[in-house]
Amino acid sequence: MQGASRESLAGVREQLAEVLRGGAAPAGATPTGATPAGAHPAGPVIAPGATPVEATPTAATQAEATPVGARPAQVTPPAAATPAATPGGVDRNALAAELRAVADLLGREPGLRRALADASKSGGDRTGLLEALVGQRVGRTALDVLRAAVSARWSRPHDLVDAVELLAVDAELAEADANGSLSDVEDQLFRFARIVDGNPQLARLLADATAPAAQRAELANGLLEGHADPVTVRLVRTAVHGLGGRGFDASLLRLVELTAARRDREIAYVTAAAPLTPAQEERLAARLAAIYGRSVSLKVEVDPSLLGGVTVRVGDDLYDGSVARRLEQARGALTN
């Protein structure tokens, strides 16, 4: 994202965070106690296990949002989730599921996302179309968050899709934070990424874009359910579907970084020739924290081919202190 989209994303994420803290509804949202036209008065209305229901926009808005010959827009019902309400009464699990379902809808319907992100139309026109399409399919909180997102300015229609996906992730991470399992979720996501990376057949199955995403998500679910935090399981399913247009591997690592950011931490990917001792990890984390000005989570892998030393990657920064790298440099100096 760039320009207007970055600013809009930061704004709607902050508004969602305020809602999840039990504060005010997003700007442009329905006042407490009021019901937008066509919206269900309270609670999630995409019932777990329900049959998908076709949206019923007005003839004018549907003609504009849906390409000729396309199927009417559908919001796919999310899987059932354990209720998890905030002090202000927001069910974080239901909110995440509904936002994820709408993101899927926008991803499937190019005409709809173009219409909802069309800066040439007023915010009222765009939110009116949103309400006509999903007002009776999602709960009031999700609709309020979506109204704020649709009212914002986006550089590209797909930036709106990416934003709604990220809002769903934010709601999931808020649930883990409230349960005190955020650190576990971060570690489980990283360890699952390493397990997949070490199993080429599993990696191919989960990343195969030619296979239905639902089928691949069920494979991941079967591997993790009962062995990982429920938030981890749902986030891995998100990675299977792709986050922000990324493939499975990149989506999973992005989720690790988002989880760390929720804990106000940087992620440092460390590759060492031999396992690091706790004291070594502590010293390395302290040095990196001094450089980056915030706490650092180390994600350590062992690769004997380094021969000695470590490599460290933090964002786009790479520090290579391995013996293999030094030998390569020495060979280069001898041949020049």
Cα 168 to the center of its chain, rounded Å: 6
**Residue labelled with tokens 């207007």:** 4
121 pLDDT exceeds 60? yes
Closest among 95, 103, 33 to 245, alpha carbons compared:
103
The pLDDT mean for the chain works out to 83
Tell me the per-residue pLDDT of 267-309, one tens digit each, with 9 for 90 and over. 999 999 999 999 999 999 999 999 999 999 999 999 999 888 8
pTM of the full structure: 0.76
Please give the backbone phi and psi of residue 313, each rounded to the nearest 5 degrees, phi first: -120, 125
Q: CB neighbours (10 Å) of residue 230?
A: 20
Question: At a CB cut-off of 8 Å and minimum separation 6, what does 104 contact?
Answer: 75, 76, 241
Name the more confident of 128 and 329. 128
Tokens representing residue 311 in the block: 């490599």
Tell me the per-residue pLDDT of 211-251, one tens digit each, with 9 for 90 and over. 999 999 999 999 999 999 999 999 999 999 999 999 999 99
What is the bridge-based pairing of β-strands 53-54 and 74-75?
A: antiparallel
Q: Give the highest mean pLDDT range of 29-33, 97-101, 133-137, 330-334.
A: 97-101
| Contact (Cβ atoms closer than 8 angstroms) between residue 192 and residue 228 | yes
Tell me the per-residue pLDDT of 95-116, one tens digit each, with 9 for 90 and over. 999 999 999 999 999 999 999 9
156 pLDDT exceeds 80? yes
Question: At a CB cut-off of 8 Å and minimum separation 6, what does 40 contact?
Answer: 135, 136, 138, 139, 140
Dihedral Cα 146, 149, 151, 155, nearest 10 deg: -140
Helix or strand or coil: residue 233?
helix
322 pLDDT exceeds 60? yes
CA distance 45 to 137: 5
Cα angle 223, 228, 232 (rounded to 5 degrees) comes to 95
E-only strand ranges, the chain:
53-54, 74-75, 265-272, 295-302, 310-314, 317-320
3-state helix, strand, coil in the chain (%, to 5): 55, 10, 35
For helices 123-134 and 140-151, what crossing angle results, to 10°? Answer: 150
Q: How far apart are the first and last CA of the chain?
A: 43
Please state the length of the chain. 336
Average pLDDT of the segment spanning 139-159: 95
CATH number of 264-336: 3.40.30
Amino acid 50: pLDDT: 37
329 pLDDT exceeds 60? yes
| Contact (Cβ atoms closer than 8 angstroms) between residue 92 and residue 116 | no
Amino acid 49: pLDDT: 37
Amino acid 84: pLDDT: 57
| Contact (Cβ atoms closer than 8 angstroms) between residue 127 and residue 1 | no
Amino acid 81: pLDDT: 44
Tell me the per-residue pLDDT of 15-66, one tens digit each, with 9 for 90 and over. 999 998 875 556 555 443 344 443 343 333 333 333 333 333 444 444 444 4
256 pLDDT exceeds 80? yes
Amino acid 88: pLDDT: 55
Amino acid 28: pLDDT: 52
Question: At a CB cut-off of 8 Å and minimum separation 6, what does 248 contact?
Answer: 196, 206, 207, 216, 239, 240, 242
Q: Where are the domains of the chain?
A: 4-178, 180-261, 264-336
Tell me the per-residue pLDDT of 181-207, one tens digit each, with 9 for 90 and over. 999 999 999 999 999 999 999 999 999
Amino acid 23: pLDDT: 55
329 burial (CB, 10 Å; 0-12 / 13-18 / 19+) is exposed
Please give the backbone phi and psi of residue 326, each rounded to the nearest 5 degrees, phi first: -65, -40
